[in-house]
A and B are shown apart, each in its own frame.
Chain A
Amino acid sequence: MNRIKSKLQEDKKLLSIYFTAGFPEINDTVNIIAELESNGVDMVEIGLPFSDPLADGPTIQESSTDALKNGMTSETLFSQLECIREKVAIPLIIMGYFNPVLQYGVEDFCKRCAEIGIDGLILPDLPLAEYQAHYQDIFEKYGLINTFLITPQTSEARIREIDEASDGFIYMVSSASTTGAKSGFDKKQNDYFDRISAMNLKNPQIVGFGISNTETFQAATRHSKGAIIGSAFIKMLRKEGINGIPGFVQGVRG
Chain B
Amino acid sequence: MNYNVDEKGYYGDFGGAYIPEMLYPNVEELRTQYLEITASSEFQDQFDSLLKSYVGRPTPLYFAKRLSEKYQTKIYLKREDLCHTGAHKVNNTIGQILLAQHLGKKRIIAETGAGQHGVATATVCALMGLECIVYMGEVDIKRQAPNVARMKMLGATVVPATSGSKTLKDATNEAIRDWINNPTDTHYIIGSVVGPHPYPDMVARFQSVISEEIKSQLLQLEGKENPDYVIACVGGGSNAAGAYYHFLNTPEVGIIAVEAAGKGIDTGESAATSVLGKMGIIHGSKTLLMQTHDGQITEPYSISAGLDYPGVGPLHAHLYASGRGEFISITDDDAMKAGLELSKLEGIIPAIETSHAFAIFENRKFKPDDIVVVNLSGRGDKDLNTYIEYFNL
Question: Which residues in A have some Cβ–Cβ distance to B below 8 Å?
Answer: 50-52, 54-55, 57-58, 61, 65, 68, 73-75, 97-104, 124-127, 130, 148-151, 153-155, 158, 173, 176-178, 181
Contact = CB atoms under 8 A, between A and B. Distances in A.
B177 A51 contact: no
A74 B295 contact: yes
Given A158-B24, A176-B183, A127 B293 contact: no
Interface in B162-191: 163-164, 169, 173, 176-177, 180-184
Contacts of A173: 21-22
B16 A130 contact: yes
Interface in B22-70: 22, 24-25
B294 to A, nearest CB: 4
A54 B176 contact: yes
A50 B296 contact: yes
A176 B24 CA distance: 11
Given A55-B22, A58-B163, A99-B281, 9 more contacts: A52-B169, A65-B163, A102-B281, A103-B278, A103-B295, A130-B18, A149-B22, A151-B183, A176-B180
A83 B180 CA distance: 38
B171 to A, nearest CB: 12
Interface string B257-300: 00000000000000000000011111110000101011111100
Nearest to B293: A103
A104 B296 CA distance: 11
A86 to B, nearest CB: 27
B175 to A, nearest CB: 10
A61 B176 CA distance: 14
A154 to B, nearest CB: 7
Contact of B21 (A74, A102, A124): A124
Contacts of A100: 294-296
A127 B184 CA distance: 20
Contacts of A151: 21-22, 25, 183
Contacts of A99: 280-282, 289, 291, 295, 297
B130 interface: no
B317 interface: no
Nearest to A177: B181
B348 interface: no
A154 B24 contact: yes
Interface of B: 16-22, 24-25, 163-164, 169, 173, 176-177, 180-184, 278-284, 289, 291, 293-298
A153 B25 contact: yes
A102 B163 CA distance: 24
Which of B19, B20, B281 counts the most A-chain CB atoms under 10 A from its CB?
B20
Contacts of B289: 99
Contact of A154 (B19, B25, B298): B25
Nearest to A54: B176
A138 B64 CA distance: 57
A149 B21 contact: yes
Contacts of B163: 58, 61, 65
A55 B280 CA distance: 18
B295 A104 contact: yes
Contacts of A55: 20, 22, 177, 180
B20 A124 contact: yes
Contacts of A98: 18, 281
B18 A75 contact: no
For the complex of A and B, the 7 pairs showing the least CB-CB separation, nearest first, are: A103-B295, A100-B295, A124-B20, A149-B21, A51-B296, A55-B20, A73-B294
B305 to A, nearest CB: 18
A98 B295 CA distance: 9
A104 B278 CA distance: 13
Nearest to B170: A52
Given A149-B21, A153-B22, A153-B25, A102 B181 contact: no
Given A51-B164, A127-B17, A177-B181, A103 B22 contact: no
Contact of A125 (B20, B173, B297): B20
Given A75-B294, A98-B281, A102-B281, A52 B21 contact: no
Given A68-B296, A100-B294, A104-B295, A181 B22 contact: no
B18 A127 contact: yes
A115 B287 CA distance: 31
A125 B282 CA distance: 10
Contacts of B284: 54, 125
Contacts of B182: 176
Nearest to B18: A125
